[in-house]
Structure 1
Amino acid sequence: MLTTLLRDSRALAALAVPLILTQLAQVALTTTDTVMMGLLGTRELAAGGLALVIFNQLRTMGVGLVTSVGNQIAAAGARAEQAEQAEAERTAGRDDDGRGHAQEEAHEEMRGIVRASLALATLAGLAGAVLMILIGQALPWLGQDAAVADRAQTMLFALAPGLLPCLWFQAIRQFTVGMRRPQALLRITVASVAVNAGLNWVLIHGTWGLPRMGLTGVGVATSSVYVLTCIALYVSARKDGALAPLLALDVMKADPAVLRRLLRLGLPIAATYGSEAGFFSLTALMAGSFGPAALAAHTAVNQLVYIVFQVAVGLSHAASINVSRELAVGRYEDAGRIKNTALACAAAVMTVVGVVYLTLPELVLAPFLESGSGQALTIATHLLVVTAFLQFFDCAQNIGVGLLRGLDDTRSGFRITLIGYWAVGLPAAWLLAYALELDTLGIWLGLLTGLATTAVLLLRRYAQSLTTRSARHTPLTAT
C-alpha cells in the first residue's frame, strides 16, 4: 500500500510540482505590483488595488473558460496512445503499419481543441477588456472617492489591452499541461517576475528618457509582460517537437461544435471561480466592519492562505489531467487512486505548514504586520490557529473541483460550491461573527465551515460519479 502511494505520488508530483512553482511565481508577480504601488502613496495604492481587483476578477473568470482545455487534450492523447498500442499489437510481425491513421485522427482532434480554445480566449479577452473599461467609468457612481476613481480608470485603460494576451497564454498553457509538458511555464513565469519589476520601475519613474507614468506605468508594465510571456510560451511550444504539430492558430477555422463544448464546460468553471472570489471578497468587507485592525489581520492571514493555496491549485490541475487520461481508456481503479494520492500529498504539505503557523506565528506574520501592530497582530495570531485547520479543507475542495473536471463534470462543481460558500459558509460566518459576537474569529470559523462542507460534498460526488461510470464500463469520450 505504501509502495503504491509513493509511486503514485512521484507520478503526480512530476506534473504538479512545475505547476505549483508556476502558481507561486504568479503570486510573486502580483505582489511586485502591489509593493510598487505602495511606494507611490496611499491614494495610488488604493486606486491601483481597486483596478487590480476588477482586472483579476475578469481575468480569473476568463481563465475558467479555457481551463477544461487541458482535460480535453489529455483525454484525446490517452485515447491516441491506446489506439496506437492496439494497432502495434495487431500489426506485430507484419511489414505494414496502420498506427499512423489513429495518431493523425487524434492529432487533428487536438488541433481542433487548440484552435477552438484560442478562439474562445479571443472572444473572452475582447469582451472582458470592454467590460473592464465600462466598470471603471462606473466607479464614481459606486460610491468611490473621485480622485481614487479617476486614477483607477486610467490604470484600467492600461490594463485592458493585457487581458487578451493573458488569456491566449492561458489557452496555450492548458494545451501544454494537457500534453504533460509544462516545464517551460515555470521558466517563463519566473523570468516574467524580474521583467515586470524592471518595467514597473522604468515606467513609473520615467528612467532612460521615457515619460514618468506613475501608477499608469504599473498597468502598462503588466500588459507588456502578458504580451511577452504569451510570445515566449508560443515560441517555446513551437520548438517542442511534440507540441509544434498541434499548435493551430487559424482560429477562424474553429469548429463551432468544439467551441460549444468548451463553452459548455468552461462557463461553470468561470462561474465557480467568480463565486469563490466573490465569497472571499465579501468576508473581507465583513472583517472591515470590525475596524482597521481586524481588516489588517484578515488581509494578512488571507494573503498567507492565498500563497499556500497555490499548492492546492497545482495538485488539483495535475490530478484533473491524470483523471482525464485514465478515464479516457477506462482505468477506473487508477482514477480512484489519484484522488487518494492527491489528498495525501496535500495533507502532508498542510500539516507542515500548520505546525509552522501554530509554533511560529509572529515569524509567519512578520512580512505583513509589524511587531508593533498590537491588536492587529493579536487578532491575526488567533486567526492562524483556525487557518491551520481551514487550509486542509481549502486544499481538499480545490482538488475535488479538479477531480470532477477530470470527469467533464463542471456543473456539479459549480452547484456544490454555491451550496458550500453561500448557503453554508456565509450564513455561518455572519452568525458566528455578529450574532455570537466572535468578530473576525467568527468570520474565519464560518469560512472553515463552508470550505469543509464544500470539500465533503465535492469528494463524495466524485466517488459516486466514478462508481457509476465504472459500473457502466464506458470510457469517457469527447461529446
Structure 2
Amino acid sequence: MTPPTRPTALLRDSRALAALAVPLVLTQLAQVALTTTDTVMMGLLGTRDLAAGGLALVLFNQLRTMGVGLVTCVGNRVAAAAARAETPGGDTARTREDVRGIVRAGMVVATLAGLAGGAVMLLVGQGLTGLGQEAAVAGRARTMLVALAPGLLPCLWFQAIRQFTVGMRRPQALLRITLASVAVNAGLDWLLIHGTWGLPELGLPGIGVATSAVHLLSFLALYASAKRDTVLAPLLGLEMLKADGATVRELLRLGVPIAATYGSEAGFFSVTALMAGSFGSAALAAHTAVNQLVYIVFQVAVGLSHAASVNVSRALALGRPEAARRLKNTALACGAAVMAAVAVVYLTLPHLVLRPFLDAGDAGGDDRAVTIATRLLLVVAVLQFFDCAQNIGVGLLRGLDDTRSGFRITLVGYWVVGLPAAWLLAYAADLRTLGVWLGLLAGLATTAVLLLRHYGTGLRARARAMDREAVAAARRAGSRTE
C-alpha cells in the first residue's frame, strides 16, 4: 500500500484532531464568553469599574487557571487507561475501576484547590493598594473578589468532570451547558447590577455574584449530563472519601508542575496588568480590553492543546510514536491558520473589535483608552501566534507525562526573558503600556521555541525506549518458544 503524501496525511490528521478539538474549542469560546460578558457589563458601568473589575478577574483567572492545571492531567490519565483496554489482553473491568479512581482523586484535588484559592483571593484583595493601584480602583476590586471567591470551588469541580469527559472522548455536552451558562450569566449580571425584579442593586459586585452562581449551576448540569450518558455514568465515581491516596498523590505529582506552568503564565500576565495599572486607569482599561481579546482567541489554542495532549497520551499508550510526532505539526498548522485570520481582523478593523469594551469619545476617559488599545493590537497580531504555539507545546509535553519541563521552560521564557523586557521597555524606554506588551511578546516567543524543541527531543527518547521494550519482549517470547 502506497503511504499517503504529506498533504494527504496532514488532512487526515487534521480531521482526526478536529473530531476532539472542535467541540473543545467551541466550548472554550463559549466559556470565555462568560468573562467577556462580565467585561462588557463592567464597561457599561464606566472606565474605573472596568479597570477594577478587570483587575479582579485577572486575579481570579490566575487562581482558577492554576486549579485547572492541577486537574488537567485527569484527562490524560483517563485517556491512557481507556486506550489500554483496547490493546490485546486489555482488562475492561480493571480499566473501569482505574477510571473511577482517577475521577474520585480528581475531585479531591479540585476541592483542595478551590478552598485554598478562595482564601488567597480574599487575602490578595486586602493588599491591592500596596501594589500600586489607585485607592478607588482597589476598593472596587476588593468587593468584586469577595463576590467571586465562592465560585472557584464549583468551577474546579466542573473542570475535573470536564477532563473526565475529554479523556473518554465524549465532550459534546460541554458545549450545550456552556452556551446555556452564557445566557444565564448575562441575565444575572443585568439583574444584580441594576437590582431589577426585586433583587438588590449590587453594581459591580453583582457581576461577581452572578459568575459564582453560574459556576455552581454549570457543575450541576455537567454532572447530571454525565450521569445520563450510558458510557460515562458507570465510570463517574464522586465518592471523594473513597479516593485512593496513591492516585491523589500521582495526580498531584503530575498536576503541580502543570499548575505551576499555568500559574507562571497567568502570573506573568497578572504582573503586567499591575504594571499597566501604574500608568493610570485609562492604561489599565486599555490593557484589560486587549487582554480580553487575547484571552478569547487563546481559547482556540487551549482546545487544540487539550485535544493534541489527549491524543498523544492515547497514541503512546497504543505504541504509535509516529502519530504523536505528526500531532505536533497538525496542531501548529491549525492554530497558525486561525491566528492569521484573526490578525487580519485586528489590523483592519481595530475600532470594531474594541467597541464592545471601550467607547471612543465617552466622557469617562474611554477615548484615551481606545487610542492606547489600538496601538496594542499591532503587537497582539504577532503575539498571538507565539501564545498559541506555547500553549500547544505545554499540552504536547503533558501527553508525554513530562509536566516538569514545561514549568522550567516557562520560568525562563516568562520571568527571565519576558518580565525584564517588559520592565525595560515600559519604564526605562518609556514606552509605557506598549512596552509591557512588547515584553509579553518576547516572553511568549521564547517559551514557544523552547517548549516545541523539548517535545521533539522527549518524543525521540520515548520512541527509542519503546523500541527497546519491543525488542526485549520479542526476545522473551522467543525464549519461551524454545
1:462 to 455, 462, 475: 455
Is 1:176 the counterpart of 2:165 in the alignment?
A: yes
Give the corresponding residue for 1:6.
Answer: 11
Query: Which of 350-359 and 135-144 deviates more?
Result: 135-144
- 1:408 match: secondary structure: coil
Provide the TM-score with structure 1 as the length reference: 0.88
Q: Which of 250, 253, 275 is the matching residue for 2:239?
A: 250
Q: Is the 8 A contact 2:315 2:323 kept in 1?
A: yes
Structure 2 Cα separation of the partners of residues 182 and 193 of structure 1: 18
Partner of residue 395 from structure 1, selected from 388, 391, 406: 388
- For residue 64 of structure 1, report the CA deviation from its aligned partner: 1.1
1:25 and 2:30 are equivalent in the alignment:
yes
Give the Cα separation in 2 of the matches to 1:428 and 1:143.
Answer: 20
Q: Select 2:328's aligned residue among 339, 357, 361.
A: 339
Deviation at 1:436, TM superposition (A): 4.3
Q: Secondary structure at the match of 2:20?
A: helix
Amino acid paired to 1:185: L
Unmatched segments (≥5 aa) in structure 2? 1-5, 470-482
Residue 334 to residue 161, structure 1, CA distance change in 2 (3 Å): same
Question: What is the aligned partner in structure 2 of residue 96 from structure 1?
Answer: none
Q: Take 1:205 and 1:337, find their aligned partners in 2: how far apart are those partners?
A: 52
Task: Please tell me whether the aligned partners of residues 300 and 380 of structure 1 are also in contact (alpha carbons under 8 angstroms).
Answer: yes
**1:346-390 CA-partner distances (Å, limit 9, x unpaired):** 111112222233333343334344455666555544433332222
Of 251, 276, 300, which aligns to 2:289?
300
Counterpart CA distance in 1 for 2:393 and 2:384 is 14
Q: Distance in 2 between matches of 1:379 and 1:207?
A: 35
Distance in 2, Cα, partners of 1:159 & 1:376: 26
Residue type matched to 1:390 in 2?
L
Equivalent in the alignment of 1:282 = 271
Identity of aligned residues (%): 76
**Residue 348 of structure 1, aligned match among 337, 357, 377:** 337
User: What is the SS of the residue equivalent to 1:81?
Assistant: coil
Could you tell me which amino acid in structure 2 is paired with residue 395 of structure 1?
Answer: C
Query: 1:331 offset after TM fit, Å?
Result: 0.6
Is it true that 1:270 corresponds to 2:259 in the alignment? yes
- Aligned CA distance change for structure 1 residues 418 and 27 (closer, same or farther; 3 Å): same
Equivalents in 2 of 1:380, 1:46: separation in Å?
13
Partner of 1:310: 299
The offset of 1:329, in angstroms, is: 1.8
User: 1:260 maps to which residue?
Assistant: 249
Aligned counterparts of 1:189 and 1:449: Cα–Cα separation in 2: 33
Amino acid of the residue matched to residue 73 of structure 2? S
Question: What letter matches 2:15 in structure 1?
Answer: R
Between the aligned partners of 1:398 and 1:283, the Cα distance in structure 2 is 19
CA drift of 1:21 comes to: 1.3
Measured in 1, the distance between the counterparts of 2:356 and 2:92 equals 52
- Out of 397, 414, 418, the residue aligned to residue 407 of structure 2 is 414
Whole-angstrom CA distance in 2 between matches of 1:358 and 1:136: 36
The answer to whether residue 154 in structure 2 is matched with residue 165 in structure 1 is: yes
- Partner SS, residue 180 of structure 1: coil
- Quick one: distance in 2 between partners of 1:295 and 1:128? 24
**Partner residue, 1:427:** 420
What is the CA–CA distance in structure 2 between the aligned matches of 1:414 and 1:192, rounded to whole Å?
Answer: 32
Q: What residue in structure 2 maps to residue 92 of structure 1? A: none
- Judged with a 3 Å threshold, the aligned counterparts in structure 2 of structure 1 residues 475 and 243 are, in CA distance, closer, same or farther, namely farther
How far is 1:209 from its partner? 3.2
* AA partner of residue 429 (structure 1): A
> Residue by residue, what CA displacement relative to the aligned partner does 1:61-82 show, whole Å, maximum 9, x if unpaired?
1111101111111111111111
Cα gap change, 1:288/1:115 in structure 2, threshold over 3 Å: closer, same or farther?
closer
Displacement of 1:152: 4.5
Equivalence for 1:206: 195
Q: Relative to 1, partners in 2 of residues 1:399 and 1:189: Cα closer, same or farther, differing over 3 Å?
A: same
Q: CA RMSD in A?
A: 2.6
Taking the aligned partners of 1:194 and 1:163, their CA distance within structure 2 comes to 20
Aligned residues: 460
